[in-house]
Amino acid sequence: MPCNLLTSPRWKAEHLGLPMPDSPHAVSVSLPLWQHNIKYEEGDPEVIGRLQAAYPRFCLHPFVRRLCHDVFGAENAGLIFPSTAAAKRAIDYVVWRGGQSARLITLADQMACGVAVDPDDFPRLREYWQHAG
């Protein structure tokens, strides 16, 4: 049963990381204490690990995370882009930032493309994902 936020707001410490609204596609989560907000901004693994949703530019949607795992495997890193052109721009960015491992992965008859990187280059790819929009 979904949570009714009007009658049961998520304001207690135990609500940390719960999605708002109660949906697998929510882009907001409960950060009920000021300290939770500070720790989120500092990248504290305890807080980050409790987030069940987030705005897509800051956190991969669980479905996207699962797709990336299926495409790139547990040992590799990568992200999915909506077109070859978008994937190539991501590769150009990774190379421009000093990365060496970015490579294009074509998916579903070019309906989408992946960019695979070594784990060391993933922060550069993630930067592009976050800031390119």
Tens digits of residue pLDDT in 21-57: 988 899 999 999 999 999 999 999 999 999 998 888 8
pTM for the model: 0.76
Sheet hosting strand 103-107, strand order edge to edge: 77-81, 112-117, 103-107
Q: Which CATH fold would you assign to the domain 62-132? A: Alpha-Beta Plaits (3.30.70)
Distance in angstroms (rounded) separating the CA atoms of residues 125 and 99: 9
pLDDT score recorded for residue 32: 96
Q: What is the pLDDT of residue 15?
A: 95
In the chain, which residue ranges form alpha helices assigned H by DSSP?
Answer: 34-41, 45-48, 62-72, 84-96, 122-132
pLDDT tens readout for residues 90-126? 999 999 999 999 999 988 776 788 999 999 999 999 9
pLDDT tens-digit series, residues 60-84:
888 888 989 998 887 779 999 988 9
Mean pLDDT (the chain, rounded):
90
Give the pLDDT score at 76.
76
Please check whether residue 52 is in contact with residue 17, taking contact to mean a CB–CB distance below 8 angstroms.
yes
Is the separation of the CB atoms in 132 and 90 below 8 Å?
Answer: yes
What does the alpha-carbon distance between residue 108 and residue 111 come to, in Å, rounded to a whole number?
A: 5
Contact 26, 19 (CB under 8 A): yes
Segments making up each domain of the chain, as ranges: 1-56, 62-132
pLDDT for residue 110: 63
Question: Per-residue pLDDT for 133 more than 80?
Answer: no
Predicted local confidence at residue 87, as pLDDT: 94
